[in-house]
C-alpha cells in the first residue's frame, strides 16, 4: 500500500494510491495535480548519509568512508511532491541527490542487523539537494549547504515495507527536464539498510517516523531555476521538484 499526506479542501488528509489516482478516505479518486502534496512523514529526527555509494564518493571525494559519514537535517528542509526549491543566485553548484528514504516504524535501540527490517515502516523517495559551494570545514556538512529551507523534497508516497521485496536492489533514476542524468542501484550502497539501523540504534533510540536518507549514487549535476527534477526509485515513486531562483 502507498499512502500520502495531502492538503485538499482546506485540511490535511491521508490519501492512498489507487491505479494512478489519489484516493481519499471518503472514496473519491483525484488526479495527482488536484491536491497539494505534503511530506508523507513528519519525522522528529532526519539522519542522512554522505558518500554512501562508492561511485559518488569517487565523484566528490578522494576515498570512500570506513564508517558511515552521517549528518542531521532540520524539518525546515522538507517539502512534498511537486513543490519548489530555491537556488541562491550566488550558487555555483547546486545539485540534486536521489535517495532511498527509510521510515522507522517502532522504537529501535540496539537492533541487530538480522532484525533490522522489523523496525521499518516503509520507504519513500528523497531529493537531498546540496549547494556545494557553501561547504565549510566545521561540523560539516554545515547547515548552509545541507539544511536549507525547502531543499529536501520527499515523497510522494510512503510505501509499506511489506511491498518492497528487496530494498537493496532498487533502481534509482534522476531526470532533469526529461533527460536522464543519474542512474544507480541501491545494491551499490557501501553501508546497507540493515547495517545503518544497527549502527544508529547502537548509540541512539530511533523513534517511529524518524527518517534515514541513505545517500546517492554518481551523476549529481548542477541545476538551474526553471529545471524540473524528477527523482525516481523503482517501486517507491517518482518525486517531482522545480528549481526557482532565490536572491542571495
Partner 1 sequence: MTSVTLRPGGRLLSGAVYGCLLNVQDELDRLGDAINEAPYNGAPTGPVMYVKTPNTQVADGTPVVLPADVDQVRVGATLGVVIKDTLTRASADQARAAIAGYTLVNDLTVPHDSLFRQPLKQKCRDGFCPIGPCLVDAADLPDPDGLTVRALVNGECRQQWSLAELVRPVATLLADISDFTSLYPGDLILVGMSPDAPLAGAGDTVAVEIDGLGRLENPLISEGESAR
Question: Where do contacts with partner 1 occur on this chain (CB under 8 A)?
Answer: 44-45, 47, 69-76, 109, 136-144, 147-149, 203-207
CA distance 76 to 225: 21
Using the minimum distance from each CB to partner 1, give the nearer residue, 123 or 134: 134
Q: Within a 10 A sphere around the Cβ of 170, how many other Cβ atoms?
A: 18
* Burial class of 231 by CB neighbour count within 10 A (0 to 12, 13 to 18, 19+): buried
Phi, psi of 75 (to 5 degrees): -70, -15
Q: Is the omega angle on the peptide bond into residue 159 within 30 degrees of 0, that is, cis? A: no
| Nearest distance from C-beta of residue 79 to partner 1, angstroms | 12
Q: Within a 10 A sphere around the Cβ of 192, how many other Cβ atoms?
A: 17
Using the minimum distance from each CB to partner 1, give the nearer residue, 93 or 207: 207
Using the minimum distance from each CB to partner 1, give the nearer residue, 208 or 225: 208
Using the minimum distance from each CB to partner 1, give the nearer residue, 81 or 146: 146
| Nearest distance from C-beta of residue 92 to partner 1, angstroms | 15
| Nearest distance from C-beta of residue 161 to partner 1, angstroms | 22
| Nearest distance from C-beta of residue 53 to partner 1, angstroms | 19
| Nearest distance from C-beta of residue 17 to partner 1, angstroms | 30
Using the minimum distance from each CB to partner 1, give the nearer residue, 76 or 180: 76
Q: Closest Cα to residue 132, out of 60, 182, 77? A: 60
CA distance 121 to 115: 13
Amino acid at each position: 500500500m502507498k499512502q500520502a499526506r495531502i492538503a485538499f479542501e482546506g485540511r490535511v488528509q491521508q490519501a492512498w494510491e489507487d491505479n494512478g489516482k489519489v484516493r481519499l478516505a471518503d472514496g473519491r479518486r483525484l488526479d495527482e495535480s488536484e491536491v497539494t502534496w505534503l511530506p508523507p512523514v513528519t519525522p522528529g529526527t532526519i539522519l542522512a548519509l554522505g558518500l554512501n555509494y562508492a561511485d559518488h564518493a569517487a565523484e566528490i571525494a578522494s576515498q570512500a568512508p570506513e564508517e558511515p559519514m552521517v549528518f542531521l537535517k532540520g524539518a525546515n528542509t522538507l517539502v512534498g511532491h511537486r513543490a519548489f526549491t530555491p537556488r541562491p543566485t550566488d550558487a555555483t553548484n547546486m545539485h540534486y541527490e536521489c535517495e532511498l528514504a527509510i521510515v522507522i516504524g517502532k522504537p529501535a535501540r540496539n537492533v541487530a542487523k538480522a532484525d533490522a527490517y522489523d523496525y521499518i515502516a516503509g520507504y519513500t523517495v528523497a531529493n537531498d539537494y546540496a549547494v556545494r559551494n557553501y561547504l565549510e570545514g566545521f561540523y560539516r556538512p554545515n547547515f548552509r549547504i545541507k539544511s536549507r529551507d525547502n531543499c529536501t523534497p520527499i515523497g510522494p508516497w510512503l510505501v509499506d515495507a511489506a511491498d518492497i521485496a528487496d530494498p537493496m536492489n532498487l533502481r534509482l533514476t534522476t531526470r532533469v527536464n526529461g533527460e536522464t542524468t543519474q542512474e544507480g542501484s541501491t545494491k551499490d550502497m557501501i553501508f546497507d539498510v540493515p547495517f545503518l539501523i544497527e549502527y544508529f540504534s547502537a548509540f541512539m533510540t530511533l523513534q517511529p517516523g524518524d527518517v534515514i536518507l541513505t545517500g546517492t549514487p554518481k551523476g549529481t549535476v548542477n541545476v538551474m531555476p526553471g529545471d524540473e527534477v524528477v527523482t525516481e526509485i523503482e517501486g517507491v515513486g517518482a518525486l517531482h521538484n522545480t528549481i526557482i531562483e532565490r536572491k542571495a
